[in-house]
Structure formats: C-alpha cells, structure tokens
C-alpha cells in the first residue's frame, strides 16, 4: 500500500476522501464516475510529510546521496541553459529578459519533481525534523557535507560541458557567461541578503510541494515561486554556480571570484531556508499544538 501511494506522488501527503451524501442524486448519464474530492492538508499534515521526507533522506547511504547530489547539480544547469538560449533567440526584444526568465524554473522543476538532491531543499526537511528531535543534528550536518559539494561539482560539470566541449553555439556560451559575470558582481553583504531571499523562496517551495496533491500542482508551485528567484536575480548557491563557473571557464572571471561569491550566497540560502521558513512553519505547527494542549488542560481543570 505504501509503495503504491508513493509511486503516485512521493512528496504528497496522504489523500483523504470527503464523505459523500448517500442520498445525493447520482451523476447524470454519460458522465464519468464522481470525482474524489480532496481536502486541503493541514499545517500539521504537511509537517508530518516533511518529517517523513527528512527521515528518508537522512537514512540514505553516502554514495546514494553523492550521486543524487551530482545529478542535481548538473540538472540545475537547465536554468542557465534555457535562459541563455532564450536571450539569444529573442535578441533585442524589450521584454527579452522577462520572457527568458519564464524558463528559469526548468532546472528546479526537473530536480525537485525528479527527486534529485538539492542543497537548498535540505535546509527545510532535516532541520524541521531536527527541531523536534535534537538527535538528528550530526546526521543533518552529514547530509549537508555530502550534498553541497556534490551539487557544486555537478554545476562545474555542467559548465565544463557548456563551455569547453563545443556543445553550445558561441553566442549561447557568450550569453551564459554574461549572466555569470552579472551574478558575481556585488559586495558580500548584497550577495548574502540576496541569498536569504533565494533560500527562503526555495525552502518555501519544498514546504508547499509537500502539501501538494498532484504532480501538476507541484510543477505549478515550483514554476511560480522559482520564476521570482530568476526574475529578481536572487542568489542561489547551486543554480547560479553554473553561470559563474561558465564565466570562469571562459576566462571572463578569476576563479577566486567564485569562492568569494559562493560563501555569502550559501550562508544566505541557509539562513533564508532555516530561519524564515523552517522556524516559522515549525512554530506554526508545534506552537499551535502546545497552545491547544494548555487550553485543553485549563478547560479540564
């Protein structure tokens, strides 16, 4: 039973059927069977699904996490690839950047729906569990220590493929490296706060997808929110890495610039994911439970 439900949508909460009135009129002739109405999941149900996801990820062997993280880093290159190609094809159309950013979510959709490891998703799942069960602290650090470098290495492999193999047209490469140079510009403080917003949005995506009933709903949620990340140019330690590493491999930036950007971007993503989503959502669920407990206790007395 569990296997069948997970195969339908691994990140969805258990679906609950609404009780149908036995005296209601039957469906009209020629129509399909009555559709199953789905209740909106509660915050507690979403949290329970987040916790189950966290336990699964924390229990995975290191080699599985590393390979999945590598695949995730490579696949995130779709954000840079699609945006760059669109910019070239649109040329000097006034709304070219806006239209190109509509394709920015492709990498996130492919990684999240495909269940590959993405570091910024893991600022939500294991941390939410760790707040309830402190013993998972070291396992969370282990998860991060495997997934983060695997993601960055995957982004490097994507940049290597895009710049050094001749797989892309020169004008596509030029557009991608321009995006990388543009993203790397700025002080550490600006990159950090940009990363806070980016991390908040991606962790919010992970939370909302855990409450989605369908693949279609998940895709729409991912697309709408990550579109904002691309449109606002907010720092994302993995998605933006592909662009900056492409610029470095094309000799448009020094290698030191990548690490100067990566440190504040990653710290910002962690702070955004942990503080602005995990603590708020955990507090919403567990704080509500505690309030209900004290209220019921006072009524009982």
Following DSSP, what letter does each residue of 237-271 receive, concatenated? Answer: TTHHHHHHHHHHHTTSS-HHHHHHHHHHHHHHHHH
What is the domain range of residue 253? Answer: 43-284
pLDDT, tens digit, 9 for 90 and up, residues 71-123: 999 999 999 999 999 999 999 898 999 999 999 999 999 999 999 999 988 87
Task: Provide Rg for the chain, Cα atoms.
Answer: 22
Whether residue 53 has pLDDT greater than 60 = yes
How far apart (Å, rounded) are the C-alpha atoms in residues 300 and 219? 46
Sign of the four-CA dihedral 118, 120, 123, 129: negative
- At residue 52, what are phi and psi to the nearest 5 degrees? -65, -40
Q: Residue 299: inside a domain, yes or no?
A: no
The predicted pLDDT at position 38 comes to 58
The predicted pLDDT at position 137 comes to 82
pLDDT, tens digit, 9 for 90 and up, residues 250-290: 999 999 999 999 999 999 999 998 887 777 777 777 665 55
Q: Residue 234: inside a domain, yes or no?
A: yes
Q: Residue 28: inside a domain, yes or no?
A: no
Q: Label residues 26-47 b or e (16+ Cβ within 10 Å = b).
A: eeeeeeeeeeeeeeebeeebbb
* DSSP 8-state class, residue 94: T
Poorest-confidence range of 29-38, 45-54, 216-225?
29-38
Domain count, the chain: 1
Q: Residue 96: inside a domain, yes or no?
A: yes
Q: Residue 140: inside a domain, yes or no?
A: yes
Q: Residue 34: inside a domain, yes or no?
A: no
Tokens matching residue 202 = 């991606």
Alpha helix locations (H) across the chain? Answer: 2-8, 43-59, 62-75, 77-90, 96-101, 106-113, 125-132, 137-164, 170-184, 188-210, 215-232, 239-249, 255-273, 279-300
The predicted pLDDT at position 48 comes to 85
Report the CATH number that the domain containing residue 196 is assigned in CATH. Answer: 1.20.1080.10
Q: Residue 296: inside a domain, yes or no?
A: no
How far apart (Å, rounded) are the C-alpha atoms in residues 214 and 202? 19
pLDDT-derived band at 51, boundaries 50, 70, 90: confident
Q: Residue 31: inside a domain, yes or no?
A: no
Q: Average model confidence (pLDDT) for the chain?
A: 84
Is the Cβ–Cβ distance between 55 and 129 less than 8 Å? yes
């Amino acid at each position: 039973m569990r296997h069948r439900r997970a195969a339908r949508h691994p990140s969805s909460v258990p679906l609950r059927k609404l009780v149908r009135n036995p005296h209601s009129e039957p469906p009209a002739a020629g129509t399909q069977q009555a559709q199953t109405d789905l209740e909106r999941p509660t915050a507690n149900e979403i949290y329970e699904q987040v916790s189950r996801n966290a336990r699964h990820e924390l229990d995975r062997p290191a080699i599985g996490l590393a390979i999945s993280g590598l695949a995730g880093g490579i696949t995130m290159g779709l954000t840079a690839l699609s945006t760059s190609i669109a910019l070239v094809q649109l040329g000097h159309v006034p709304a070219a950047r806006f239209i190109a950013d509509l394709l920015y979510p492709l990498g996130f959709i492919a990684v999240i729906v495909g269940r590959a490891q993405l570091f910024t998703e893991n600022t939500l799942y294991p941390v939410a569990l760790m707040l309830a069960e402190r013993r998972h602290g070291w396992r969370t650090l282990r998860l991060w220590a495997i997934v983060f470098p695997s993601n960055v290495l995957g982004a490097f492999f994507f940049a290597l493929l895009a710049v050094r193999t001749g797989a892309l047209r020169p004008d596509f490469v030029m557009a991608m490296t321009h995006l990388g140079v543009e993203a790397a510009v700025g002080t550490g403080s600006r990159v950090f706060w940009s990363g806070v917003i980016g991390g908040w949005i991606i962790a919010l995506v992970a939370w909302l997808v855990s409450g989605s009933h369908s693949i279609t709903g998940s895709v729409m949620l991912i697309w709408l929110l990550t579109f904002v990340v691309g449109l606002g140019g907010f720092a994302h330690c993995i998605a933006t890495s592909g662009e900056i590493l492409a610029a470095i491999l094309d000799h448009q930036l020094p290698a030191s610039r990548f690490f100067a950007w990566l440190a504040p971007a990653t710290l910002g993503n962690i702070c955004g994911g942990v503080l602005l989503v995990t603590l708020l959502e955990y507090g919403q669920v567990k704080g509500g439970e505690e309030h209900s407990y004290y209220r019921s206790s006072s009524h009982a007395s």
